[in-house]
Amino acid sequence: MAEPVAVTDKPREKALEILRGAEDGGFVDLLIDRARQVFDDRDSAFILELVYGTLRNLALLDWTLNQFSLQPVAKTDAWTRNILRLCAYQMFFLDRVPVSAAVNTATELAKIYGKKNSYVNGLLRTLDRKRNAIAYPGVEDPIKRLSVLYSHPAWLVRRWVARFGEDVAETLLRNNNIRASLVIRTNLLKATREKLKASLLSEGVDARETAYSPVGLELISSPPLRTLTAYGNGWFIVQDQAAQLVSLMLSPRPGDTVLDACAAPGGKATHLAELMQDQGTLIALESDRERLKKIRENCDRLGIAIVIPTLRDASRYQEGSFDKILIDAPCSGLGVLRRHPDGRWSKTEEAIKERRELQARILENCAKLLKPGGALVYATCTTEPEENEDVIDGFLSKTGGAFELDDPRRYLPERAACLVDEKGFLHTYPQAPEMDGFFGARMVRKNRVKDMRICVEACTGR
């Protein structure tokens, strides 16, 4: 990596480094978190805007730049193409940023990274002069049009158009480009939603109650969360409404023995513990040691004692028996692309099949640990049937009637009942675009002893 120099704009330079790191497989969220440790709140917010905005509009930016470049932008070196994208995003999407400032900084960065400053300067100035002459894909090729205008990979656009139709698919793509709201969940062990909201309002937070979750608040604007008294007191944790509904579907009771099979960073594990009134036992499995630390940190801050973080592989874990099991399965994450726009460019269609195989192994293994009469919820944050309905159908077929689907609506808030389809599956996408895209299925293990007694009584006439 080239050495930065003092004349460059540090926030823009850091945004460039993060974009470049993402191309090498770096996790954008982690890279941004590291940047927050160095930059103040204002610069950190600007870096976040630049990185996520560029990634959210990547295909459109490349298409626009390619109108005036002698070669496709994607074929130039990684530093140069990211400098161009970063500047083009500011030119077309950030009205408060003067074009001259964006172009001048891009040119200075190009002197250090990529060494093609003349090309960068000339292309960007031409783009500014001729922005009204840009042509976009037409309706004759709907996949290309949607892929470019909304910056999603063509393979995903093709899948959604085939599944939902062009109009619905376009709505979904458009919603993915709207910045996701920040939602928190009240820790009912320490506060009510009303008490939490009052505390937040007293410190300048603009918050409103969530429509589907009875314990959620959407933060319209807020100071940094860690500076809030309620955060230090452990009154809330950041968690989208859809994820909150998954824990409600499982509906554990105080005193239960519960397994959270894929638990990090602990959002659902802590919610389950709260629903259990911190009474009972909750084993939280995680196969990554660093991620396991996040579970402990969240439990400590929220004041939760019953969660036992356990470093184990959910596809092989075979200890104990449980009243309730949650499997928030590792998945393609296509339901959270609005929060993680870098995922659009790192995920592949082939990965869906690979994930499905892992999901089936985890489900089949953990289901063996469920007590007769117990309940299991399988959930993902993806939209694709191969990772959702198909996994459940395959599992139910394999287990020969030992498990059956259970209608989750009686465990959900009344408003959320509309998110459950005729088969009993929870879908928050595209039905509720203000939430992340989640899937959930609730199953119960049949009580074999009870079934046998019923059979005997029927056969003997008793």
d(CA 299, CA 240): 18
The answer to pTM > 0.75 is: yes
Q: What's the CATH code of the domain at 214?
A: 3.30.70.1170
The answer on 310 and 247 residing in a single domain is yes
The answer on 299 and 439 residing in a single domain is yes
The answer on 209 and 246 residing in a single domain is no
Residue 368 falls inside a structural domain? yes
Q: How confident is the model at residue 431 (pLDDT cuts 50, 70, 90)?
A: confident
Residue 69 falls inside a structural domain? yes
What is the per-residue pLDDT for 450?
A: 46
96: left (phi over 0), alpha (psi -120 to 50) or beta: alpha
Residue 342 falls inside a structural domain? yes
Assigned token pair, 290: 């660093």
What is the per-residue pLDDT for 137?
A: 94
If you ran DSSP here, which 8-state letter would residue 396 be given?
H
The answer on 234 and 245 residing in a single domain is no
The answer on 108 and 206 residing in a single domain is no
Phi, psi of 432 (to 5 degrees): -130, 80
The answer on 21 and 163 residing in a single domain is no
Residue 304 falls inside a structural domain? yes
185-225: pLDDT as tens digits: 999 999 999 999 999 999 999 999 999 999 999 999 999 99
Assigned token pair, 410: 């009686």
267-299: pLDDT as tens digits: 999 999 999 999 999 999 999 999 999 999 999
What residues contact 75, with CB distance under 8 A and at least 6 apart? none
d(CA 420, CA 377): 14
Q: What's the CATH code of the domain at 316?
A: 3.40.50.150
Structural domains counted in the chain = 4
- My answer on whether omega of the bond before 430 falls inside 30° of 0, hence cis, is yes
Q: Which of 381, 418, 455, 459 is catalytic?
A: 381
Residue 456 falls inside a structural domain? no
Specify the pairing of strand 307-311 against strand 216-221. Answer: unpaired
> Please, how many CA atoms are within 13 Å of residue 249, restricted to the half-sphere of its CB?
36
5 pLDDT exceeds 60?
no
Q: What value does the mean pLDDT take over residues 382-388?
A: 96
Determine the 3-state secondary structure of 258 from DSSP.
strand
38 pLDDT exceeds 70?
yes
Q: Angle at the Cα of 132 (from 128 to 136), degrees rounded to 5? A: 110
What is the per-residue pLDDT for 448?
A: 63
What residues contact 437, with CB distance under 8 A and at least 6 apart? 242, 334, 335, 336, 381, 382, 383, 428, 429, 430
Known catalytic residue at 331: no
Q: What does the DSSP assignment read for 192-240?
A: -HHHHHHHHHHTT-EEEE-SS-TTEEEEEE-S-GGGSHHHHTT-EEE--
The answer on 434 and 301 residing in a single domain is yes
121-146: pLDDT as tens digits: 999 999 999 999 999 999 999 999 99
The answer on 170 and 58 residing in a single domain is no
78-113: pLDDT as tens digits: 999 999 999 999 999 999 989 999 999 999 999 999
Query: By residue range, what is the domain housing residue 191?
Result: 182-238
The answer on 111 and 161 residing in a single domain is no
Of 238, 257, 283, the position where a domain reaches its end is 238
What residue type is 79 in one-letter code? W
461 pLDDT exceeds 70?
no
What is the biggest distance separating any 2 CA atoms in the chain, rounded to whole angstroms?
92
The answer on 163 and 112 residing in a single domain is no
Computed over every residue of the chain, the mean pLDDT equals: 93
Neighbours of 220 (CB within 10 A): 11
The answer on 148 and 207 residing in a single domain is no
What residues contact 118, with CB distance under 8 A and at least 6 apart? none
- The 3-class SS string of 270-313 reads HHHHHHCCCCCEEEEEECCHHHHHHHHHHHHHHCCCCEEEEECC
Q: What value does the mean pLDDT take over residues 300-323?
A: 97
Say which residue the tokens 């807020």 belong to.
Answer: 222
d(CA 87, CA 68): 15
What is the per-residue pLDDT for 353?
A: 87
The answer on 331 and 272 residing in a single domain is yes
